[in-house]
Amino acid sequence: MESVGLRPGPRYARPGMAVLVAALAVELVDELVGGTQSAAMPLIRHDLALSYLQIGLLGAVPLIVGSLVELPFGVISGTGRRRRRFILAGGLAFIASVLGVGLSGSFVALLIALVAFFPASGVFVSLTQSALMDAAPDRRAQHMGRWTLAGSVGAVAGPLLLAVVLAAGGTWRLAFVLIAACSATAWLAVERTSRAKRGSGAAPGRPPADAASPGPSQRASVVPLPTGTDARDPGWPGWRAAASIIRRSGALRWLLLLEVADLMLDVLTAFLALYLVATTHAAPSAAALAVAARLGAGLGGDVMVIRLLARHSSLRVLRVSGWLTIPLFPAFLLAPGLGPKLVVLAAVTVATAPWYPVLKAELYGSLPDRSGLAVSLGSAAGLAGGLGPLAIGILAQRFGLTAALAPLCVVPAVMLAVLALPRARQCRQEGRGDQAGHGGPAAGQLN
């Protein structure tokens, strides 16, 4: 695997292969949990006798409560050794919560385990991601594409792991126990690489010939992913200053778009197996494979996105994908039978592949040198994002899953409208400036 384009220099070190693999493994195991949970939901529902409302609560309550608990961690974790300690502590909580999901025997126990999982994932995974964004600010979109690709591998592996466990006579509980073991392996990789780095006291890789040799203070700040530090990290600016920074940066727009887009990404995937069982009467094992097919299409889409972002503007790619999705999702809901639905669903998945990496990269780009603040803002937005699964669960309980998913048809149109607002405002301002500058009848009409 390539080294995600990180360039060595006086501020950033080229991560060694072991360090890079450990960082990507963190994202992989996180998506392994999500993929397995989505595919196993029909089995979990049957085993624990869950209603659609309870399933909606399982999606909403952990996200809302977890986001609230996770909210300050992005800011207080800082960088360097402090961030490293937060990542490792979050990893231990991550492992324990995944094991708790596998051992849960009731709705309440499962809910508690998932509530613990969300903040643990936020600390373990999001802080690793923020370090990756700090390491190469000029290539955030491309690196988010690679990060998303690593997550897609884990998401695809989740349903496949469940299918293998079921074929071997195991249960969904065993699948989560195995995932906890994989998470422990990823944690050990992160711990060992960071410990080896602390022991060596030197950054891997050789600085380029045209780069000046870092001085003692610079050497202390050059550390590998995922626990690197930024010598320019400005620290916590205070609540008023932070609010001013957020307002001026335009970060709120990207946060809104991330939560809206998530309805067509993770939220749709969470309800997919249930939807296919309810509408096409597919067996739970077939629904699990269908989720794997959806995630496999996403994997292919992520590879495509990496290449597109190397040649085209990230926002242009985002707009084109939005226009493609507008007719595709209604076609998915209207397609008859499992086979046609999966064909259209694959097209929807590929079309929406740029959404998360581009929007996330834009969020980090709107807050340069403040990745911790971006992480905390993402947690705050998750409080509102948790209402999506809850609303779908309530609608499905009353009207059925097809009617509950139908409102998602407007998601790409909303995203395109929000993206167009700054451009329209800029055009109006430029038009007023041109009229004022040239005078004449047009200028007179404005007075």
CB atoms < 10 A from the CB of 265, how many? 17
User: CA-to-CA distance for 180 and 186, rounded, in angstroms?
Assistant: 10
- Is the pLDDT score of 84 beyond 70? yes
* C-alpha–C-alpha distance, residues 397 and 130, integer Å: 38
In a domain, 348, yes or no: yes
Q: Does residue 16 register a pLDDT over 80?
A: no
Residue 438 in domain: no
- Asked if residue 433 is part of any domain, the answer here is no
In a domain? residue 221: no
Task: Print the SS3 string covering 131-155.
Answer: HHHHHCHHHHHHHHHHHHHHHHHHH
Q: What is the mean pLDDT of the chain?
A: 76
Sequence-ordered list of residues with C-beta below 8 angstroms from that of 125, at least 6 positions apart, any chain: 26, 27, 30, 90, 94
What pTM was estimated for this model as a whole? Answer: 0.61
Q: What is the CATH number of the domain that holds 182?
A: 1.20.1250.20
Measured CA to CA, the distance from residue 237 to residue 234 in angstroms comes to: 7
- Arithmetic mean of pLDDT, 380-401: 81
The answer to whether position 124 is within a domain reads: yes
- What whole-number distance in Å separates Cα of residue 439 and Cα of residue 447? 11
pLDDT at 23: 78
Per-residue pLDDT reduced to its tens digit, 150-178: 888 888 888 889 889 988 989 999 999 99
**pLDDT tens, residue by residue, 248-305:** 767 888 888 988 898 988 888 888 888 888 888 888 778 878 888 887 888 888 888 8
Report d(CA 104, CA 115) in Å as an integer: 13
What is the pLDDT, as a whole number, of residue 100?
94
User: Residue 377 pLDDT more than 50?
Assistant: yes
pLDDT surpasses 80 at 117: yes
How many domains does the chain divide into?
1
Alpha-carbon distance 210 to 289, whole Å? 52
- Residue written as tokens 């309550």? 61
- Please tell me the predicted confidence (pLDDT) of residue 443: 39
State mean pLDDT over 424-447: 47
* Amino acid identity, position 193: T
Range of the domain at 54: 19-196+250-426
Q: Are 428 and 301 in contact (CB under 8 A)?
A: no
Q: In the predicted model, what is the mean pLDDT of residues 56-80?
A: 76
The answer to whether 257 and 366 have CB atoms below 8 angstroms apart is no
Give the rounded distance of the alpha carbon of 11 from its chain centre: 26
User: How many whole angstroms separate alpha carbon 12 and alpha carbon 165?
Assistant: 42
The reported pLDDT for the residue numbered 348 is 93
Report residue 372 CA to chain centroid gap: 15
Q: Confidence class of residue 77 from pLDDT cuts 50, 70 and 90?
A: low
Amino acid making up residue 324? L
User: Does a structural domain hold residue 138?
Assistant: yes
Supply the pLDDT for residue 389: 82
Q: Which amino acid is at 314?
A: S
State the DSSP code for 335. -
% of the chain beyond a pLDDT of 70? 72
- Residues 33 and 177: beta-carbon distance below 8 Å: no
Q: What confidence category does residue 214 fall into, taking pLDDT thresholds of 50, 70 and 90?
A: very low
Q: What is the pLDDT of residue 397?
A: 84
- From the list 128, 157, 166, the residue with the least C-alpha distance to 298 is 157
Is residue 224 situated within a structural domain?
no
Per 3-state DSSP, the chain is made up of helix, strand and coil in percentages (nearest 5) of 80, 0, 20
131 domain residue, yes or no: yes
- C-alpha distance from residue 375 to each of 77, 172, 242, 243, 346 (Å): 10, 32, 13, 15, 30
Q: Quickly state the pLDDT bin for 78 (edges 50, 70, 90).
A: low
Check: CB of residue 352 under 8 Å from CB of residue 325. Answer: yes
